[in-house]
Chain A
Amino acid sequence: MFRPGLALLVLFCVACANIIRSNKIPEKIKPNVLLLFMDDLRPELGTYGKVKIHSPNMDKLASMGIQFDNAYCNVPVCGASRASMLTGMLPTKNRFLDYNTFVEKETPQAITLPQLFRQHGYTTISNGKIYHHLDDRETDWDEVWRPYAFDSNNRGLSPTDYWQLLWKDYQEPVNKDIYIKTNTGPAYENAEVADSVYIDGRLAQKVIRDIRRLRGSEKPFFLTAGFISNHLPFNAPRTYWDYYYRDSIKQPYNNYVPKNAPKISISNWPEMRAYSNIPKTGQVSDSLAIDLIHGYYATVSYVDALIGNILEELKVQELDTNTIVVLVADHGYNLQEHTQWAKFTNYTTSTRVPLIIYDPRSKIKGGVTHALTELVDIYPTLSELCGLEPPKEQLSGQSLVPVLNHPEQRGKDHILIKKGNGFTIKTKDYCYTEYINSKDDSVIDSMLYDHRKDVDENENVVRYPEYKSVVTRLHSILHTNYKSNITGD
């Protein structure tokens, strides 16, 4: 009965498909890139199974793109991690050591990721915290901007110094006052202010202005949004604190030093102790711990809302169909796991990062991959996605494009993470760390966590006889494949 009708309808649809095809963007136009670069954000997101967390916008981005469940930073501290990711180069004994890393000084010859894009005709804009230092590699960018930095100040401070004075951005008058007097303040704040008031709100406004401006541009863009969130202090408008009932917030079950853990592996979290309401020694009270976790969650939800505004603007300006969006953090974070706060440890809490890549051209929507990946892979990935020839003999990573096309791939056999003298080899099944004496390269102490059964890293099994062959193998990989990273030669 309905056969003839069916044939007609099929023809009708073919006609539609043709209309679409003719509207397709010509091959030659390069895709834009929007880099959402998060600070201190571990994968504490709804889409990463943390169901209590209110992160609808990042979750939505993941549902459109590919979510990497096994992505790790190469150095678990801001400045060094950013330098490593943006040069695509691994840290060594002498390079990318701490937060105070300057790309310009440590790898002057490197062609950085934004530089590569700029060389290929992209408009490159650094908004907020991309390199750690505002005045690092300014030539990589068409524009460098941070909230407050370029406001006029009557103290004769350079933009970088002025920003340094203001970035903690308390809004409660009493905290503002303490901040001005002592250059610090409490570890969190929940002022009743609009989303646009705190420093990341200002950043988001700027990014949105850029999107509007870039819409008409003939050049493709490499646009960045370097958020302060989720860095201390956990300052977020009261609204976002109210997403979480205080009673529902729990301290981690493994708030203890792992069994057999090397003493050297456990951080005393100096970064957090610099805040006014944190004790200088010993543990925080349970009540303060809950407040800190609450603040961390609130900050996630705050920055999520800002990201939602940015992605919405991308859509409004009809740039969403030709803009690759990458959401990534410089490293992970400890929220009292193993008695630790903040970052800069060799534990997975410090090293595992959220990574979401959304390429509007991809057919795979909402894929999740367990492939083992590292931040030095971002550089070759973005250059391949945009068809840019990457520099030869500079990059340590590999393009993730094969994984984007086939999320079921298993990824790398091993990756390197370096924190001070702690060198970690992460494989699919294990996480093995050696603390190495910088004078004679001897091993001071070591730890092995069996991620097949102990992904929370509660028991160091490095000296258990049944792991002897695993330790031998991982030790050998570390001192063969990553020899130069250890010796610095």
Chain B
Amino acid sequence: MIKHIYLLVSLMTLISCQSQEKKVELKKQPNILWIVTEDISPTLSFYGDQTAKTPNLDKLATESLVFDNAFAVVGVCAPTRSSIITGMYPTSIGTMHMRTGQDVMSWGKRSYADHVDRNDISGNPIRQYAAVIPEYVKCFTEYMRAAGYYCTNNQKTDYQFAAPVTAWDENNSKSHWRHAPKDKPFFSVFNIGTTHESQLWKKSDLPLTVDPKTVPVPPYFPDNDATRETIARHYSNIELMDAEVGAFIKQLKEDGLYDNTIIFFYSDHGGPLPRQKREIYDSGLKVPFMVKGIKTNSGRTDRMISFVDLAPTVLSLAGVEPPLYMEGKAFLGAYQTDKRDYVLGTSDRFDEYTDRIRAIRNKQFLYLRNDFPELTKYKDVGYRKQVPMMPTFLRLRDEGKLDAIQHMWFETKTNEELYDCVNDPYNIKNLADDPAYGPILKNMRQALKDQMANRPDLGLIPESQLINTMWPDFEQPITKSVTFNVIEMSQGKTVSLSCATRGASIAYIVSDNPNEHFDFNSKWKLYTEPFSVEKGQTVYTVAQRIGYMESKIDVFQMQ
């Protein structure tokens, strides 16, 4: 028994000295800032499209490594953001359907309607839910926090589950690196909504700063005033977004942090226009992406990267070894790995319409496997019909006035599609039936097969059945309460926390006040190791497994 206490004492001192050592090392950890815009393709000057004037991004690009082959996994926010925050493919963790619930901003709405007027691929009705992902998968920011980073998100989350309180130090409309303690490096995310699809109609009363007459019109659109107006609105929104980027850069410089902060700029997926957003073509998945390092490589790279790579890459830059389970591979930092030959893309339910398409892309070719070729490429998604150019587009379709390329989107699919993205950047010439491309088709088909053989594809399961496995009997599981264990020490009391729900993360606050009322925006700490508590202090705890309801806040008073 005495030996046991002796051991505990030594363990505790070991932990405390480790944390002191951490502080010393922290100085080596770089600050990381993500500026994430929404719904834009690489239609920026440094990708060769001069339509929008973006002086701030242009300047940043000259100091950055610009990626020419960066891809989202899904052409829509929530599924792709689930892969960004976890480093996993949405089809591997069950987050591929747009959308599961309404956990879009900050800590999420956290209530889920029993009935929505939507059916899965088998025709069974579905309900709103929060995806319960495998218990070993965490928001990668937890690993950052555990390594000493101060993590802030402002404020879109949209992970297909409510962001657990353990994921961020701050996660609301006021979150900012400026709130980080002086001795901590920060990982700060700002999401800009200005270029989002919805802003095509919500900003329609603002003046256009780009002339509709001069905008480029992709060949898959009928060239008319309505189309040009919408495209001009989008480029005008890009200009507004550029100003917001400029403001963040300015703040960083004012704070004297610009030179020792790594800055990422990217869009969460491709363009907002019809036949761009939601599509599993380059128009939906290919994104602008650049990273300004610290005194390091600017320039361009054609290295292929996927959004599953973001979580391990940020961990790698922070000096944290990415967990083995992560499907993405770090492309920068201490743990960067071999270059990838392929990126994967997936397409499942979008709002009220379900389909299933799987894609694989190498530097030149894009291959699609259509599981339901009898369904049209076009989905009559109600939300999209608000885009100002849509009524005209649909009217021309109904009047038979679209040309063959413009009409393709409204047609049913073939079993497979193959595009040469270098020579056909709009993906309008399907080469799958061209015998000259037979060997390439065969290779791409096999590559997709090999990639998918290594992982589950939860998109195969009818969504209603999937929900029942995540939420038994279609009810949200609740995270169990935190168990509080006190270890008596000679110099005070040390406390360890545990939660009986497998995969739950625990947060806590130590306070001198026994009657505090905390909410998600309180200063919760991520529990990683036992900590000491003084007599009379109160410990508040909360736990959450991703997709479960959070536990109630438990209060322990130290006698």
Interface residues of A (CB under 8 A from B): 2, 5-6, 9-10, 12-13, 16, 19-20, 23, 46-47, 49-52, 56, 59-60, 62-63, 250, 253, 366, 368, 408, 450, 452-456, 458
Contact = CB atoms under 8 A, between A and B. Distances in A.
B461 A453 contact: yes
Given A13-B13, A452-B461, 5 more contacts: A13-B10, A16-B7, A452-B456, A454-B462, A456-B468
Which secondary structure dominates where chain B touches chain A?
Answer: helix
Nearest to B457: A452
Interface footprint category on B = 20 to 34
B3 interface: yes
7 contacts: A6-B17, A6-B20, A13-B13, A19-B3, A452-B457, A453-B461, A455-B469
A310 B11 CA distance: 30
B21 interface: yes
B6 A51 contact: no
Interface of B: 3, 6-7, 10-11, 13-14, 17, 20-21, 135-136, 324, 456-457, 460-462, 465, 468-469, 472-474, 477-478, 500-502, 548
B6 A56 contact: no
Given A6-B21, A49-B472, A51-B477, A453 B460 contact: yes
A253 B468 contact: yes
Contacts of A47: 502
Contact of A49 (B7, B457, B469): B469
A1 B465 CA distance: 60
A456 B465 contact: yes
Nearest to A250: B473
A50 B469 CA distance: 9
Contact of B473 (A6, A52, A458): A52
A474 B182 CA distance: 63
A69 to B, nearest CB: 11
A362 to B, nearest CB: 17
Contacts of A5: 17
Contacts of A454: 461-462, 465
A454 B121 CA distance: 13
A10 B10 CA distance: 9
Contacts of A16: 6-7, 10-11
Across the A-B interface, the 8 shortest Cβ-Cβ residue pairs:
A51-B477, A453-B460, A250-B473, A16-B10, A453-B461, A452-B460, A13-B10, A13-B14
Contacts of B6: 16, 19
A12 B460 contact: no
A12 B462 contact: no
A56 B548 CA distance: 18
Nearest to A253: B468
A266 B113 CA distance: 36
Given A51-B477, A368-B135, A59 B502 contact: yes
B474 to A, nearest CB: 8
Contacts of A453: 460-462
A399 B7 CA distance: 36
Contacts of B3: 19, 23
A12 B468 contact: no
A20 B477 CA distance: 41
Given A49-B469, A253-B468, A452-B456, A60 B500 contact: yes
B438 to A, nearest CB: 22
Given A47-B502, A50-B472, A52-B472, A9 B457 contact: no
Nearest to A6: B17
A342 to B, nearest CB: 21
Contact of A2 (B20, B456, B462): B20
B502 A20 contact: no
Contacts of B460: 450, 452-453
A425 B156 CA distance: 47
Contacts of B13: 9, 12-13
Contacts of A368: 135-136, 502
Most buried by B among A47, A50, A453: A453
A329 to B, nearest CB: 19
B119 to A, nearest CB: 15
Contacts of A2: 17, 20
A47 B480 CA distance: 12
Nearest to B545: A51
Contacts of B465: 454-456, 458
Nearest to B324: A408
A456 B122 CA distance: 14
Contacts of B17: 2, 5-6, 9-10
A49 B135 CA distance: 10
A52 B135 CA distance: 17
A63 B462 CA distance: 31
A270 to B, nearest CB: 28
A296 to B, nearest CB: 14
A44 to B, nearest CB: 10
Most buried by A among B14, B135, B468, B473: B473
Given A16-B7, A16-B10, A59-B502, A51 B461 contact: no
B551 to A, nearest CB: 12
Contacts of A455: 461, 465, 469
Contacts of A452: 456-457, 460-461
Contacts of A6: 17, 20-21
Contacts of B21: 6
A253 B500 CA distance: 28
Nearest to A52: B472
A251 B518 CA distance: 38
Contact of A56 (B10, B136, B472, B500): B500
B502 A63 contact: yes
Contacts of A51: 472, 477-478, 501, 548
Contacts of A456: 465, 468
A5 B14 CA distance: 11
A56 B136 CA distance: 20
Nearest to B502: A47
Nearest to A59: B500
Contacts of B548: 51
B396 to A, nearest CB: 38
Contacts of A59: 500, 502
A23 B472 CA distance: 46
B180 to A, nearest CB: 24
Nearest to A50: B472
A6 B24 CA distance: 13
Contacts of A49: 469, 472
A5 B457 CA distance: 53
